[in-house]
Amino acid sequence: MSTFIAFMTPYDFSPTVLAVCLLSAVLFVRGSLAMGPDEARPGIWRWLSFFVGLIAIYVVMQTRIDYYSQHMFWVHRAQHLVLHHTGPFLLMLAAPQAAMARGLPHFAHRLLVPVWRSRVVQAAYRFLQHPIVAAGLFVGLIYFWLMPEIHFKAMLSLTRYQVMNWSMLLDGLLFWWLIVNPNARERGGLGFGWRILLLWAITMPQIVLGAYIALHHSIVYDVYNVCGRAWPISPLVDQEIGGLITWIPTSMMSVIAAVVVLRMWLRDSARRRSPGAALVKSELA
């Protein structure tokens, strides 16, 4: 038990991470419970998806995993797999925005809604959610933070390290919402065909980068020699495992997301063919 408590104790406590995770959980629960039967109240699977994603993000940012990620390359890549892929994907799959907005106190709702609807914020959001920009930013951030010179500096500076992690998390939330947004094109979402194309587009560069790292015969990231590795394994083995994590699980995430999108596409097609039947089915679900 003491080992588990030690593992869960933050290595470098961040009140920001704790506050964001707690606030997100409170808003989701409060808003979900306040929703009426005629609203899109989250069901059990959306609750599960939301909290698994949120807890996973907290764990990789505020437990001993955060320490190991600064001293082992493969743990760092696993951390970013959660921050950029798995965690945001699960959060956005829960489509929590409506519930969280409902959970806001009245004064906060009155304050934030005009800001969200302002021209500047909406223009910035539309720009970031443009398919080409979203895909380019998603892959570009991975390549940027894994440039050896950039990575070296980021891992030796707490500020840069935090910027790196937050940028990956925020970008992941934006990208995966673009992919798993339940709204079809006519209701403001991206076309399902575009989503499949984007998933293919982000997969190939990650495969190339992961393969390059895993199959490289010399040390690419020597910063872990400076920091000191947490476990006595060969630097090349550490790098190979990190490359494989960048290569295989990220590709599988795209496959899983594609299956989700195809299911949404089929349900939307069924709704178009038989609106009444689809309505009854959705009410019974």
Check if the beta carbon of residue 109 is closer than 8 Å to that of residue 101. yes
Residue 285 confidence class, pLDDT cut points 50, 70, 90: very low
Per-residue pLDDT reduced to its tens digit, 157-189: 999 999 999 999 999 999 999 999 988 887 778
Task: Check residue 275 and give its pLDDT.
Answer: 55
In order of 41, 271, 278, the CA distances from 283 in angstroms are 11, 13, 9
User: For the chain, how far is it from start to end, CA to CA, in angstroms?
Assistant: 40
Helix 73-81 / helix 235-273 crossing angle, nearest 10 deg: 10
Tokens describing residue 138: 């998603």
Instruction: Dump pLDDT digits (tens) for 75-113.
Output: 999 999 999 999 999 999 999 999 999 999 988 888 998
Place of tokens 């437990």: 63
Encode pLDDT of 188-212 as tens digits. Answer: 789 999 999 999 999 999 999 999 9
Average pLDDT in the chain: 91
Query: pLDDT tens digits for 6-48?
Result: 778 887 888 999 999 999 999 999 999 998 777 788 999 999 9
Please name the residue ranges forming H helices in 181-191: none
CA distances from 105 to 28, 36, 91, 108, 109 (A): 12, 17, 22, 5, 6
Q: Is 100 helix (H, G, I), strand (E, B) or coil?
A: helix
Percent of the chain with pLDDT over 90: 75
Q: Can you tell me the distance from the alpha carbon of 150 to that of 142, in angstroms, rounded to the nearest whole number?
A: 11
**b/e map 246-282, b = 16+ CB within 10 Å:** bbebbbebbeebbebbeebbeebeebeeeeeebeeee
280: which 2 tokens? 């009854």
